[in-house]
A = this chain, B = another copy of it.
C-alpha cells in the first residue's frame, strides 16, 4: 500500500493530494451523482464574498484552443447565506471542504474569513487574491506585492485555521508575491488562478464575453502553470498546491515532480466528471510502478 496522504500544515491533512478547484466544482454536491466525493483529498468550494453577488452578465464563457475563458465574476450567495443554507449540507462530507474567499477591500476579506473561522468543519480557506473577473479588486491584490502582503496579514490575524493563499499568474515574478504572503503568515499557497485572456466573434465583431476579458483555464495554460509552480516551490518553504490545466494522471504527476505537495483539478471536471478519481488511482499506480512508498518521495523530485 502506498501512502497518498499529504500534510499541508496547520491541521490540514489530505487523504490524497487531489483537490478540486474553486469555481469549477460548485459545492461538491454537483458531482455526487458521478463519483463518491468523499474520496477526494479536498474540495474548494465556490468563491465566497461578504455579500451576495450576481456576477457578470451573460455571456460568461468562450471556448478557446484546449481551454476556455470564463467571466463568472464571483456569483455567490454571500457568506451568511453560505453558513446558513449551504454549510449544513456539506459539513459532514468526509473530505476537506475549503472555502475560497474573495473580496474587494481588505475589510471584506477579513470579515468573510472571520465568519468562516467559526465553522467547525471547514479546516481552511483559500484566499483568492487573483480573480481577474471582477472590477473592484481580487486580482489587484494578487498582482502587487504590498497589497498581497497586507490582505494576507489582515486575514491571518482573524483566521486561525489553514490559510492557503491563491496566487495570480498575471504577474512578472510570481515568486516575489509567494515570498510576500509566506512572510505574511500564509500556511500554503495555491497556484495558478486563470490567466487573463480574450476572444472576439469576428462575425458580430463583439467580444465573446460580456466583460471583454476573462480568465483562461484548461490544458492550454498547463505549461505556464507548471513553470510557476516549479519556480514557487523553489522559492518558498511552505507547501505549494499546484493547478492549471491538469486533466490527466500524467499532468498531475508533472506538478508534483515540480514541487506541488497537492494539486487541484478545475476545468477538466467539466469534460470528465470522474477525472479526479482517475487521477487519484493513477498517482497510486505510478508510485507503485516507481517503487515509492509515499507520495512525498516524488514531491519536487524533478531531476535537473
Q: Which residues of A contact B (CB under 8 A)?
A: 64-67, 69, 143-144, 170-173, 195-200, 202, 204-207, 212-213, 216, 218-224, 226-227, 230, 245, 250, 253-254, 257-258, 286, 298, 301-304
Known pairs A205-B301, A303-B206, A304-B207; A223 contacts B230 (CB<8 A): no
A181–B86 CA distance with the chains assembled, in angstroms = 51
| Given pairs A66-B220, A205-B303, 7 additional interface contacts (CB within 8 A) | A69-B223, A196-B224, A199-B226, A202-B254, A202-B257, A207-B302, A207-B304
Residues of B within 8 A of A301 (CB): 205
Question: Are A200 and B302 neighbours in the complex by a CB distance under 8 Å?
Answer: yes
Closest Cβ–Cβ distance, residue A253 to chain B (whole Å): 5
Residues of B near A207 (CB, < 8 A) are: 302, 304
**Minimum distance in angstroms from A51 CB to a CB of chain B:** 28
In the bound complex, CA of A223 to CA of B208 (Å): 11
Q: How far is the CA of A230 from the CA of B205 in the complex (A)?
A: 13
| Contacting residues, chain B, for A298 (C-beta < 8 A) | 205
Q: At the interface, is chain A mostly helix, strand, loop or mixed? A: mixed
Copies held by the complex: 2
Residue of B nearest to A226 (CB): B198
CB neighbours of A202 from chain B (8 A):
250, 253-254, 257, 286
Q: Who on chain B is nearest to A221 by CB?
A: B220
Q: Within the assembled complex, what's the spacing in Å between the Cα atoms of A216 and B286? A: 27
Known: A172-B143, A205-B302. A198 touches B223 (CB 8 A): yes
Is the CB–CB distance between B245 and A65 below 8 Å?
Answer: yes
Q: B223 near A216 (CB under 8 angstroms)? A: yes
Contacts of A220 in B (CB 8 A): 65-67, 219-221, 223
Contact A65 B219 (CB under 8 A): yes
Q: Which of B67, B227, B304 contacts A197 (CB 8 A)?
A: B227
A226 to B202, CA, bound (A): 13
Within the complex, the shortest CB–CB distance from A223 to chain B, in Å, comes to 3
Chain B minimum-CB-distance residue to A247: B65
28 contacts between A and B (CB under 8 A): A64-B222, A65-B67, A65-B220, A67-B220, A143-B172, A171-B172, A172-B172, A196-B224, A196-B227, A198-B226, A198-B258, A199-B226, A199-B254, A200-B226, A200-B254, A202-B250, A202-B254, A202-B286, A205-B257, A205-B302, A206-B302, A206-B304, A207-B304, A213-B227, A213-B230, A216-B224, A219-B220, A220-B221
